[in-house]
Chains A and B, each alone.
Chain A
Amino acid sequence: GAVVSQHPSRVICKSGTSVKIECRSLDFQATTMFWYRQFPKQSLMLMATSNEGSKATYEQGVEKDKFLINHASLTLSTLTVTSAHPEDSSFYICSAPTGTNYGYTFGSGTRLTVV
């Protein structure tokens, strides 16, 4: 079935640095990628939608200059958390529509810890 590979699975970074998270569609073309954030004991919150070759669309309240999204190819979308702070520590998950009845497939998530 359709697989989205997400890396890294865990990352610890210092406050003020930037972190890049990659999501690759392995056996299908992902023209759209959704990025979610999940805090402990909470549900997934949609942050933004990226479309190949165009600017990402951000949900209300999400800072586009802080969470840079690039979708340069049909198989790769990246999320860069810039100038990370401890409050950005969270679980980040990407998801792509598969074009089948399965609907959407999800990456395995990235646990970001900012110290």
Chain B
Amino acid sequence: QKEVEQNSGPLSVPEGAIASLNCTYSDRGSQSFFWYRQYSGKSPELIMSIYSNGDKEDGRFTAQLNKASQYVSLLIRDSQPSDSATYLCAVTRNNQGGKLIFGQGTELSVKP
């Protein structure tokens, strides 16, 4: 079992819909949680971080964390074709200096 698991997709949603991306992690010592967006042929770009249980909203993006269930999600409201990319979930553990452990990524396709 990988430490950070994501459904590889592709996840296809129509333009204007809500895209829901999910991630589970196995280490209860995980401390911080991040979502990165990666366009094809480009490097990962940090879009959201979350550290405590609950929801965190930033524009059209909402990150949700449930430490009891070891589950992180990213919601994208009013999805746009420009949101089409691979979304990478990453976690850090205590005492590892910010070392990011990534899932394999979920490919999102937003259809006009």
A and B associate: no
Please list the residues of chain A having a beta carbon within 8 angstroms of any beta carbon in chain B: none
